[in-house]
Amino acid sequence: MSDDDFMQDSDQEQYDFEYEDDDDEESGDIGIENKYYNAKQMKVDNPNEAIDEFLGMPSMEEEKGDWGFKGLKQAIKLEFKLGRYDKAVEHYKELLTYVKSAVTRNYSEKSINNMLDFIEKGSDGESAYLCMEQFYSKTLESFQSTNNERLWLKTNIKLARLWLDRREYAQLVRKVRDLHKACQKEDGSDDPSKGTYALEIYALEIQMYAETGNNKRLKALYQRALKVRSAVPHPKIMGIIRECGGKMHMSEENWKEAQIDFFESFRNYDEAGSLQRIQVLKYLVLTTMLMKSNINPFDSQETKPYKNDPRISAMTDLVDAYQRDDIHRYESVLQSNKDMLADPFIAENIDEVTRNMRTKGVLKLIVPYTRFTLAFVAKQLKVSTAEVQDIVGFLIVDRKLKGKINQENGTVEVERTADTGRTHSVQQWSSAIGSLWQTVLNEGEGFKVDESQSIPGTSTTFLQGIAPEGSAPQLGGLGQNVAGKRRGGGAKKTNAGLGSRNLHTLLNRTE
């Protein structure tokens, strides 16, 4: 058969193609899918119309399915964003009915977690918090019946975090107690398979005790958290634990341990991409100054990229001035960046750094003076006279400065250690000279008188008059008097050391 004959025969035959039975369902899916993407394009410009479009999607399905689930999710997020909290809760209850059969367990768990994260981040105000609390409660009710322990734990942790943010510590304590039980075995020991959740719970508790100032309980939990080895926690969780640990060490003035914890906290926050890393880096710089360390905190590989960050520039300038003992630069940076003190932790600890800086400034300023006024120092350092008096008093009590404060005149007299040493040396030198004269006059050959070879015509009484009770003591006294004149008035050099020739001359003259 030729090709033409084949084509001719083919025209005479009718070829009927058989389609599948779900042709109508496929066209329906295309319609609902188009509706979904059209509504998403309307979200920015016409959010109200977009909500109506999304809410219309569940009715287009004969049975609950993915598209209805997706439409409800988008509608709930828009309603929450627009402040329609009651409607958002109502449609969220409807959404939870899909998780039992309409969508898979993993998909529903992921979607619910993302929904709760969205609500948590967007909450601002009392009404939003109440709405979020209802979201958590409805979720717990829904998944308690499905025996989804993992989602139950995650939702409860989110609810506990909400109560922490709202400072509802009584409810938080009860919730944390339940969560700890859920992370334990029947015998009460920790369940290694739930170590990650246990660390999140510890982080919540540690934050609570850090805010309430219960350092004793905080320290115990902090040490327990660091001993958990069966977990691969999110870096942000470890950042929280380390940050609270650093604050705890700071309250105990354990600067070295605080520095280690703040550095580890910064590293974890940086790995997690959390903005809290900037604030913790400020704490690290603050700790470096409190340690009186000359090591620049921005020399490490992890912190070096943030050295020129404008958000940290004030602390960078502050630590630079501190390490150079530039009190004027330090005060200038502090006065021009008062927003830095908005953080209560920095405001609480910067006073100690400032006091250390001003103390060094006072010591540096008064070096050349033995007497100065408190007003003079206050003017030079640009602080109050009362604060200068407080610093000087502290230095005197701490034995870093020897002096006396005259509060009536506002003056300080400084006793120089160097002057005291010189005075003591002069006294020792004078004593040594006196001792030398005494030795020479007592033991010198020119002053000894041999009575067996006495000079003729010389009376013993005369000799006794010169040196009663023996010649040496009297002549020694003469030598001491001459030496005393030298010490006291710096008299001209005299021939106080009488030799034997002068003695014979004197005796001859007396005859």
Task: Express each pLDDT in 197-237 by its tens digit.
Answer: 889 999 999 999 998 888 889 999 999 888 887 777 889 99
Instruction: Kindly report, as residue ranges, where domains of CATH 1.25.40 are found in the chain.
Output: 23-147
Third-level CATH fold of 366-414: Arc Repressor Mutant, subunit A (1.10.10)
| 421 — pLDDT class (breaks 50, 70, 90) | low
Question: What burial class does residue 51 get, using C-beta atoms within 10 Å of its C-beta: 0-12 exposed, 13-18 middle, 19+ buried?
Answer: buried
Give me the CATH code for the 23-147 domain, please.
1.25.40
- What's the number of CA atoms in the CB half-sphere (13 Å) around residue 337? 20
Side chain identity, residue 48:
N
Q: How far is residue 296's CA from residue 298's CA, in Å, rounded to a whole number?
A: 5
- Secondary structure (3-state) at 372: strand
**What integer pLDDT is reported at residue 9 of this predicted model?**
44
Residue 410 pLDDT > 50, yes or no? yes
Q: What is the pLDDT of residues 74-114, one digit of tens each?
A: 999 999 888 888 998 899 888 888 877 777 778 888 888 88
- Of 119-133, 239-253, 412-426, the poorest mean pLDDT is in 412-426
Instruction: Kindly report, as residue ranges, where domains of CATH 1.10.10.10 are found in the chain.
Output: 366-414
Residue 259: which of 285, 220, 298 has the closest Cα? Answer: 285
Write the DSSP symbol of residue 404: E
Residue 99: which of 160, 53, 140 has the closest Cα? Answer: 140
Residue 459 pLDDT > 80, yes or no? no
For residue 484 the two structure tokens come to 């005393």
Mean pLDDT over 19-48 rounds to 70
**What integer pLDDT is reported at residue 344 of this predicted model?**
86
CA 55 to chain centre: 50
Q: What is the pLDDT of residues 317-336, one digit of tens each?
A: 888 888 888 888 888 888 88
CA 185 to chain centre: 37
For residue 429 the two structure tokens come to 């030198």
Residue 465 pLDDT > 80, yes or no? no
Mean pLDDT over 458-470 rounds to 44
Mean pLDDT over 386-398 rounds to 86
Residue 414: which of 377, 439, 381, 465 has the closest Cα? Answer: 377
**What integer pLDDT is reported at residue 59 of this predicted model?**
85
Q: How far is residue 75's CA from residue 69's CA, in Å, rounded to a whole number?
A: 10
Which residues does 238 contact at the CB level (< 8 Å), separation at least 6? 199, 264, 265, 268
Query: What is the residue whose two structure tokens read 């404060």?
Result: 405
Side chain identity, residue 431:
S
Write the DSSP symbol of residue 382: T
Give me the percent of the chain exceeding a pLDDT of 70. 78
**What integer pLDDT is reported at residue 481 of this predicted model?**
42
Residue 387: which of 399, 375, 396 has the closest Cα? Answer: 375
